[in-house]
């Protein structure tokens, strides 16, 4: 192969990758850039920069309430999803009850279903039971969609290595609860944390269930949804950029938990 | 030979009780808040709305209405078409991206290249669709760039169309499919590719006969997820597609929020569920056969 | 926890569906004895240890500890502690917290726990190491911490699953001595699983040889070595040359036996017609013509000679395809291809009374 041909190939590879990255980053770049736009419509030409839209967003009570509600729903539902997922994964991995393939399929089922179907089902269920719409119901829905994810992540981390340590702990006199609290959880804590983070980002981002099951107190995606009614608006850009930053922070925490797990496991 | 309650049997039973005890909370939750709601949805789909109340006599009227009204049925067709187009285009874009990262990017840059390729994944789903609206709007970035270069004289209308919906979806699922395809590409033993070359296969033959078959599972998983999520999604078509070529989820939400016709929405959501389940079962069977 | 107690397995069997892991197990583990379960992989020795430890509940039979039936008592409530093959040290805890784990889950006061931890660590030669992290330890140190963790609980019986398997040869020999002296100092019963027969002979008061889920032979090492009960025991516990034969005449406790290598006489009261096997240890097989009081075993062709330092290992092919093995002084070693005579002193012919081949031809009735 001649040097010239190799160089041409390199250029082609770089150009192709660059084209992909432009496609992938175009909307994000436009979103972030025009959140600093000084005009009232976020379209070119760019004017500014200004932070006035961030001030506007953070001064908007509906947005800050939405952020607070989203964090509340996300944290509680993810905690519950990770907890239930852990218990199920532990039961499956350590006691392997008969019919475990059926049980596993049952737990994983909500993963493939449209959130809209789940949300409508919960709406009908709770309205026929006479419950008013509330953030609690959203939390319940988010546990439903995140439980399979948490279960799958945790069950993949409950390997034979921990099983041997749990057996040793049992032999030394630990009760089932002591085994879980003193051995299993400390050992797979990165997986639990990763499951929590992933569940949190899904809850943080979820719209349809939250939209169907809330009325006055709403989560951030529902607030942003209502902001979209005003059309293109730099304030929406600013809100979107903030949401992106929070998701990114949680995603980084998730990534770190995963890589630390890889680093420490023997 | 074994007495009914031997020590062994007792121990196994205790172990079983424990196992089910741990699994029970998750199962109960899924049964109460997933299976039960869907069952109730199925029952409600047999009710009909009459004025502001519900007629709780069971009938298939909602289903008849859905399948007999071209406007409703076309939403189902639209959903299937959009999901199919998005799946094909996403995989066609994601494959070369994953392949470039796996085979043309130096090993120590691969992780970075991959993370960069999926970073915008973490933008909010709604915000991402909104961002595409910014890009595709009549006076948005794309149109202004086109007009500045003199390629078009008038703004091209992309926003609020099926094309916009597809672009928004493809953006998201290219990242997702690239991830699953990359995962299967890096598992291919490089010696297999060397061996194929050694046996006289050209680079193109090696790709078609070795690389592609060995990465088929990654393609299948990516395509499967893309289709299932696309067909059930409301946000992207609603923001980017607007009211042209509406898809089934848009119709369902319209019936809930504007018409208040929950039984009809329930019937349509059951149709959606059946479509998803059929695709899931078909795909799961194919995937299992392959592995 | 407790003083050493007798442990007993009676009529124990464990089946998994159609497969039998162990069966027909009757075994006494006297208080304060060092018992080694010896056998190849798949012989059921680890299953047996697991039954003793309470991790596996037998399908049949009973497990007794002292006077108590502990057959289905779970490990946590049993006065046995296991030292696992891979040590199973908790990586998230310090050495001291590992050793104190069993005491801490029993809610022993902190000060008392700390004292017991230090005692146990001192006993295994690691005083003052309580603050270390587990991953800072060498393989030998991990082994000692695992031992200390078990001893700190003061169990009635200590179970060791291939405890030295992960160590290099030098360290293994050193740890053998330490295990033995630890067992003496603590006066507890140790049950130790291994496939290394040298390890077994070095450590055991009682060797239990296992094969295919059954006990082949039980006894003190010297007895098992000098007069193994079965053909398998004779070949697994040290090597042997095995001659097949048949009793042709028996009078006054002495039997004349015909073999393909010639006639010989051994002390037994087996009836005429019985099939027997005769085992000869390699160091007792002589490569020269018989003198008075010795038994000639025909001629053989030398196949392979390997020097092993203080001796040479000679494999030979005798009459009727006999595979023979001898250990001779290096300077006296023959060359491959040489024809030599095989001889053994009458006292060194070990009659295998409970020969498995004989048992097979007669069916299981022979057991």
Indicate the pairing of strand C7-16 with strand C60-65.
antiparallel
- Six-digit token pair at B240? 């980017």
Cβ atoms within 10 Å, residue A246: 20
Cα-only R_g, chain B: 25
Name the average pLDDT for chain C: 87
Out of B1-15, B201-215, C33-47, give the one with best mean pLDDT.
C33-47
Distances (CA, A) of B140 to A43, A131, B41, B137, B144: 5, 44, 42, 4, 6
pLDDT at position A131, please? 87
Instruction: Please give the Cα distance from B187 to C245 (Å, whole number).
Output: 60
What chains are in contact with A, requiring at least 3 Cβ pairs below 8 Å?
B, C
User: B119 and B34 in one domain?
Assistant: no
pLDDT at position B89, please? 95
- Look at residue B56 and tell me if it is in a domain: no
User: Are A172 and C102 a contacting pair at CB < 8 A?
Assistant: yes
pLDDT tens-digit readout, C44-62:
999 999 999 998 999 999 9
A141 — pLDDT class (breaks 50, 70, 90)? very high
Count of the separate structural domains present in chain B: 2
3-class DSSP state for residue C248? strand
Give the count of Cβ contacts less than 8 A between chain B and C: 19
State what percent of residues in chain A have pLDDT above 70: 95
Q: CB–CB of C28/C8 below 8 Å?
A: yes
Most distant CA atoms of chain C, gap in Å? 75
Task: Answer whether A167 touches C (CB < 8 Å).
Answer: yes
pLDDT at position B115, please? 81
Report the side by side order of strands in the sheet with C157-161.
Answer: C80-83, C157-161, C189-194, C34-38, C206-211, C214-219
Q: Which of B18, B27, B123, B262 to mutate to test the interface with A (most CBs of A within 10 A)?
A: B123
- Look at residue B51 and tell me if it is in a domain: no
Cα-only R_g, chain A: 23
Cα B242 to chain centroid distance, Å, stands at 20
Instruction: Please give the Cα distance from C247 to B138 (Å, whole number).
Output: 108
Q: Mind telling me how many Å the CA of B140 is from chain A's nearest CA?
A: 5
Cα B181 to chain centroid distance, Å, stands at 15
**Residues in Cβ contact with B121 at an 8 Å cutoff, skipping those fewer than 6 apart:** B172, B175, B176
pLDDT at position C366, please? 32
Between B190 and C338, name the one with better pLDDT: C338
Q: CB–CB of B191/B200 below 8 Å?
A: no
Give the count of Cβ contacts less than 8 A between chain A and B: 245
Residue with tokens 């990262």: B101
User: B22 and B80 in one domain?
Assistant: no
Q: Which of A18, A111, A117, A150 to mutate to test the interface with B (most CBs of B within 10 A)?
A: A117
Element at B213 (helix H, strand E): helix B212-214
Distances (CA, A) of B63 to A85, B68, B167, B254: 37, 8, 32, 17
Nearest beta carbon to residue A92 from set B23, B120, B130 = B23
User: Are B2 and C71 a contacting pair at CB < 8 A?
Assistant: no
- Look at residue B261 and tell me if it is in a domain: yes
Element at C242 (helix H, strand E): strand C241-251
User: B126 and B13 in one domain?
Assistant: no
Q: Mind telling me how many Å the CA of A177 is from chain B's nearest CA?
A: 11
pLDDT at position C359, please? 41
pLDDT at position C10, please? 92
Most distant CA atoms of chain B, gap in Å? 91
User: B204 and B109 in one domain?
Assistant: yes
Q: CB–CB of C246/C278 below 8 Å?
A: no
Cα-only R_g, chain C: 24
User: Are C59 and B8 a contacting pair at CB < 8 A?
Assistant: yes
pLDDT tens-digit readout, A69-101:
999 999 999 999 999 999 999 998 888 778 888
User: B27 and B105 in one domain?
Assistant: no
Nearest to C121 by CA among C130, C109, C133: C130
pLDDT tens-digit readout, B181-224:
998 888 888 888 888 877 878 888 888 888 888 888 889 888 98
* Average pLDDT for A49-72: 86
Which residues numbered 12-31 in B keep a CB inside 8 Å of some CB on A? 15-16, 18-23, 25-27, 29-31
- Look at residue B164 and tell me if it is in a domain: yes
Which residues numbered 66-105 in B keep a CB inside 8 Å of some CB on A? 93, 96-97, 100-101, 104-105
Cβ atoms within 10 Å, residue C242: 20
Give the count of Cβ contacts less than 8 A between chain A and C: 57
Nearest beta carbon to residue C84 from set A168, A187, A264 = A168
User: Are B15 and A95 a contacting pair at CB < 8 A?
Assistant: yes
Chain A residue numbers touching B277 (CB-CB < 8 A): 112
- Look at residue B55 and tell me if it is in a domain: no
- Six-digit token pair at A90? 């532990």
What residue ranges define each of the domains in chain C, with the CATH number in brackets?
7-226 (3.40.50.300), 239-353 (2.40.50.140)
Instruction: Please give the Cα distance from C329 to C338 (Å, whole number).
Output: 16
User: B6 and B121 in one domain?
Assistant: no
Does the pLDDT value for residue B254 go beyond 80? Answer: yes
User: Are A173 and C90 a contacting pair at CB < 8 A?
Assistant: no
Nearest beta carbon to residue B124 from set A92, A103, A205 = A205
Cα A57 to chain centroid distance, Å, stands at 23
User: Are A122 and B232 a contacting pair at CB < 8 A?
Assistant: no
Chain C residue numbers touching B8 (CB-CB < 8 A): 57-59, 72
Q: CB–CB of C49/C82 below 8 Å?
A: yes
Out of B14-18, B152-156, C148-152, C252-256, give the one with best mean pLDDT.
C148-152
Name the average pLDDT for chain A: 86
Nearest to B168 by CA among B127, B125, B129: B129
**Residues in Cβ contact with C128 at an 8 Å cutoff, skipping those fewer than 6 apart:** C118, C121
pLDDT at position C205, please? 93
Instruction: Catalogue the long-range contacts made by A69-74 (C-beta closer than 8 Å, 24 or more residues apart).
Output: A69/A135, A69/A217, A69/A218, A69/A219, A69/A220, A70/A203, A70/A204, A70/A219, A70/A220, A70/A221, A71/A204, A72/A135, A73/A135, A73/A138, A73/A139, A73/A142, A73/A203, A73/A210, A73/A219, A74/A142, A74/A199, A74/A200, A74/A203, A74/A204
* DSSP states along C66-120: TTEE-TT--GGGSSEEEE-TT----TTSBHHHHHTHHHHHTT--HHHHHHHHHHH
Residue with tokens 């500014």: A48
**Residues in Cβ contact with C172 at an 8 Å cutoff, skipping those fewer than 6 apart:** C164, C199
What residue ranges define each of the domains in chain A, with the CATH number in brackets?
67-264 (1.10.3720.10)
User: Are A164 and C53 a contacting pair at CB < 8 A?
Assistant: no
User: B88 and B24 in one domain?
Assistant: no
pLDDT at position A260, please? 63
Does the pLDDT value for residue A265 go beyond 50? Answer: no
Chain A residue numbers touching B26 (CB-CB < 8 A): 84-85, 87-88, 107, 147, 151
Does the pLDDT value for residue C333 go beyond 80? Answer: yes
Nearest to C192 by CA among C9, C39, C49, C7: C49
Instruction: Please give the Cα distance from C25 to C61 (Å, whole number).
Output: 8
User: B148 and B233 in one domain?
Assistant: yes
Q: Is B269 left (phi over 0), alpha (psi -120 to 50) or beta?
A: alpha
* Average pLDDT for A11-31: 87
pLDDT tens-digit readout, C265-302:
888 777 777 788 888 998 888 888 888 888 888 889 99
Nearest beta carbon to residue A124 from set B235, B252, B266 = B266
pLDDT tens-digit readout, B143-157:
777 887 877 777 777
pLDDT at position C362, please? 36
User: B129 and B241 in one domain?
Assistant: yes
User: Are C57 and B1 a contacting pair at CB < 8 A?
Assistant: no
Does the pLDDT value for residue B4 go beyond 70? Answer: no
B24 — pLDDT class (breaks 50, 70, 90)? very high
Which chain C residue lies closest to B1 (C-alpha atoms)?
Answer: C60
Element at B21 (helix H, strand E): helix B7-30
Question: What are the two backbone dihedrals, phi and then psi, of residue C255, each rounded to the nearest 5 degrees?
Answer: -115, 140
Which residues numbered 201-230 in B keep a CB inside 8 Å of some CB on A? 228
pLDDT at position C360, please? 41
Nearest beta carbon to residue A174 from set C53, C91, C105 = C105
Domain of residue B1, residue span = 1-38
Q: Mind telling me how many Å the CA of A75 is from chain B's nearest CA?
A: 17
Which of B211-215, C117-121, C149-153, C188-192 has the least mean pLDDT? B211-215
Instruction: Please give the Cα distance from A69 to B268 (Å, whole number).
Output: 31
Q: Mind telling me how many Å the CA of C103 is from chain B's nearest CA?
A: 25
Instruction: Please give the Cα distance from C18 to C21 (Å, whole number).
Output: 10
* Average pLDDT for A226-254: 82
Which of A32-41, A64-73, B28-37, C79-88 has the least mean pLDDT? A32-41
- Look at residue B275 and tell me if it is in a domain: yes
| Helices A135-157/A185-205 angle, 10° precision | 140
User: B282 and B190 in one domain?
Assistant: yes
Please give the angle made by the CA atoms of B74, B79 and B82, to the nearest 5 degrees: 120
Instruction: Please give the Cα distance from C145 to C166 (Å, whole number).
Output: 14
Q: Mind telling me how many Å the CA of A173 is from chain C's nearest CA?
A: 4
User: Are C59 and B12 a contacting pair at CB < 8 A?
Assistant: no
Residue with tokens 């948005």: B140
Which chain A residue lies closest to B250 (C-alpha atoms)?
Answer: A116
User: Is residue A221 exposed (0-12), middle (13-18) or buried (19+ Cβ within 10 Å)?
Assistant: buried
Instruction: Please give the Cα distance from B168 to C312 (Å, whole number).
Output: 80
User: Are C60 and B1 a contacting pair at CB < 8 A?
Assistant: yes
Chain C residue numbers touching A164 (CB-CB < 8 A): 84, 86, 88
- Look at residue B249 and tell me if it is in a domain: yes
pLDDT at position C363, please? 35
Which chain A residue lies closest to C153 (C-alpha atoms)?
Answer: A172
Q: CB–CB of C74/C50 below 8 Å?
A: no
pLDDT tens-digit readout, C75-96:
888 889 999 888 889 988 999 9
User: Are B2 and C59 a contacting pair at CB < 8 A?
Assistant: yes
Chain B residue numbers touching A140 (CB-CB < 8 A): 33
- Look at residue B16 and tell me if it is in a domain: yes
Q: Which of C55, C89, C91 to mutate to test the interface with A (most CBs of A within 10 A)?
A: C91
User: Are C82 and A168 a contacting pair at CB < 8 A?
Assistant: yes
Nearest to B92 by CA among B279, B236, B223, B233: B223
Nearest to A172 by CA among B14, C103, C141, C119: C103
Residue A166's Cβ-side half-sphere holds a number of Cα atoms within 13 Å equal to 22
What chains are in contact with C, requiring at least 3 Cβ pairs below 8 Å?
A, B
Which chain C residue lies closest to A168 (C-alpha atoms)?
Answer: C88
Which chain C residue lies closest to A187 (C-alpha atoms)?
Answer: C92
CATH of the domain at B231: 1.10.3720.10
Task: Answer whether B13 touches C (CB < 8 Å).
Answer: no
User: B20 and B146 in one domain?
Assistant: no
User: B11 and B143 in one domain?
Assistant: no
Does the pLDDT value for residue B5 go beyond 70? Answer: no
Does the pLDDT value for residue A262 go beyond 60? Answer: no
- Six-digit token pair at B245? 């070529």
A1 — pLDDT class (breaks 50, 70, 90)? very low
């Amino acid at each position: 192969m001649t040097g010239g041909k190799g160089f041409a190939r390199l250029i082609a590879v770089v150009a192709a990758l660059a084209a992909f990255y432009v496609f992938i980053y175009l909307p994000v770049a436009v979103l972030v850039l025009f959140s600093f736009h000084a005009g009232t419509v976020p379209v070119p030409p760019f004017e500014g920069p200004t932070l006035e839209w961030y001030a506007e967003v953070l001064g908007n009570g509906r947005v800050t309430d939405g952020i607070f509600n989203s964090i509340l729903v996300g944290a509680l539902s993810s905690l519950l999803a990770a907890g239930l997922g852990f218990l199920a994964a532990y039961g499956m991995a350590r006691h392997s009850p008969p019919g475990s393939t059926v049980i596993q399929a049952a737990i994983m089922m909500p993963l493939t279903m449209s959130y809209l179907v789940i949300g409508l089902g919960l709406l009908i269920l709770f309205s026929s039971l006479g419950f008013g719409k509330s953030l609690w119901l959203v939390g319940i829905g988010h546990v439903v969609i995140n439980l399979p994810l948490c279960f799958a992540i945790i069950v993949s981390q409950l390997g034979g290595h921990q099983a041997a340590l749990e057996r040793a702990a049992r032999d030394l006199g630990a009760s089932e609860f002591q085994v879980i609290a003193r051995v299993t959880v400390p050992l797979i804590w990165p997986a639990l944390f990763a499951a929590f983070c992933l569940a949190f980002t899904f809850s943080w981002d979820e719209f349809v269930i939250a939209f169907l099951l809330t009325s006055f107190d709403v989560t951030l995606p529902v607030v942003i949804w209502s902001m979209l009614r005003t059309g293109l608006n730099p304030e929406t850009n600013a809100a979107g950029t903030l949401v992106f930053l929070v998701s990114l922070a949680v995603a980084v925490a998730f990534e770190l938990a995963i890589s630390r797990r890889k680093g420490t496991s023997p | 030979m074994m007495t009914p309650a031997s020590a062994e049997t007792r121990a196994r039973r205790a172990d079983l009780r424990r196992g089910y005890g741990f699994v029970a909370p998750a199962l109960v939750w899924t049964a109460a808040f997933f299976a039960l709601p869907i069952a109730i949805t199925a029952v409600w789909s047999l009710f009909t709305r009459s004025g502001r109340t519900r007629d709780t006599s069971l009938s298939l009227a909602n289903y008849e209405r859905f399948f007999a009204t071209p406007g409703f049925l076309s939403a189902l067709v639209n959903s299937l078409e959009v999901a199919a187009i998005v799946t094909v285009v996403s995989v066609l874009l994601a494959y070369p991206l994953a392949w470039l990262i796996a085979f043309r990017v130096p090993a120590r840059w691969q992780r970075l290249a991959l993370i960069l390729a999926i970073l915008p994944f973490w933008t909010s789903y709604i915000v991402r669709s909104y961002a595409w609206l910014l890009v595709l709007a009549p006076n948005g970035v794309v149109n202004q760039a086109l007009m500045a270069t003199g390629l078009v004289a008038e703004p091209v209308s992309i926003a609020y169309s099926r094309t916009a919906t597809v672009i928004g979806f493809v953006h998201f699922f290219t990242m997702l499919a690239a991830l699953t395809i990359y995962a299967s590409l890096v598992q291919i033993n490089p010696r297999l590719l060397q061996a194929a070359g050694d046996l006289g296969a050209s680079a193109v033959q090696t790709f078609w006969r070795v690389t592609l078959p060995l990465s088929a599972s990654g393609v299948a998983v990516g395509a499967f997820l893309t289709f299932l999520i696309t067909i059930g999604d409301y946000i992207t078509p609603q923001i980017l597609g607007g009211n042209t070529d509406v898809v089934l989820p848009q119709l369902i939400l319209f019936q809930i929020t504007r018409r208040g016709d929950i039984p009809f929405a329930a019937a349509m959501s059951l149709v959606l569920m059946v479509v998803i389940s059929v695709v899931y079962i078909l795909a799961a069977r194919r995937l299992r056969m392959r592995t | 926890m407790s003083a050493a107690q007798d442990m007993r397995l009676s009529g124990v069997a464990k089946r998994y569906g159609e497969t039998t892991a162990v069966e027909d197990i009757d075994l006494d583990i006297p208080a304060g004895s060092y018992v080694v379960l010896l056998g190849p992989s798949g012989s059921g020795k680890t299953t047996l240890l697991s039954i003793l430890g309470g991790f596996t509940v037998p399908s049949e039979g009973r497990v007794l500890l002292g006077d108590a039936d502990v057959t289905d008592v779970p490990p946590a409530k049993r006065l046995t502690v296991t030292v696992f093959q891979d040590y199973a040290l908790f990586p998230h805890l310090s050495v001291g917290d590992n050793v104190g784990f069993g005491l801490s889950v029993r809610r022993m006061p902190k000060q008392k726990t700390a004292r017991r931890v230090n005692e146990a660590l001192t006993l295994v030669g690691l005083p003052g190491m309580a603050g270390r992290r587990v991953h800072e330890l060498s393989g030998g140190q991990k082994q000692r911490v695992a031992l200390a963790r078990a001893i700190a609980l003061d169990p009635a019986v200590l179970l060791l699953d291939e405890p030295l398997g992960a160590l290099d040869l030098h360290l293994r020999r050193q740890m053998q001595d330490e295990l033995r002296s630890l067992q003496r100092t603590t006066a507890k019963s140790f049950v130790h699983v291994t496939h290394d027969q040298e390890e077994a002979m070095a450590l055991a008061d009682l060797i239990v040889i296992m094969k295919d889920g059954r006990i082949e032979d039980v006894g003190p090492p010297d007895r098992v070595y000098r007069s193994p009960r079965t053909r398998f025991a004779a070949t697994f516990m040290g090597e042997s040359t095995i001659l097949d034969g048949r009793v042709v005449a028996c009078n006054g406790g002495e039997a004349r036996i015909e073999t393909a290598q010639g006639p010989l006489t051994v002390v037994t009261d087996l009836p005429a017609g019985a099939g027997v096997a005769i085992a000869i240890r390699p160091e007792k097989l002589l490569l020269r013509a018989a003198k008075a009081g010795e038994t000639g075993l025909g001629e053989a062709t030398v196949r392979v000679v390997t020097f092993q330092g203080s001796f040479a290992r000679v494999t030979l092919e005798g009459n009727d395809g006999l595979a023979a093995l001898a250990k001779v002084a290096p300077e006296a070693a023959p060359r491959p291809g040489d024809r030599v005579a095989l001889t053994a002193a009458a006292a060194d012919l070990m009659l295998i009374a409970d020969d498995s081949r004989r048992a097979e031809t007669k069916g299981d009735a022979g057991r």
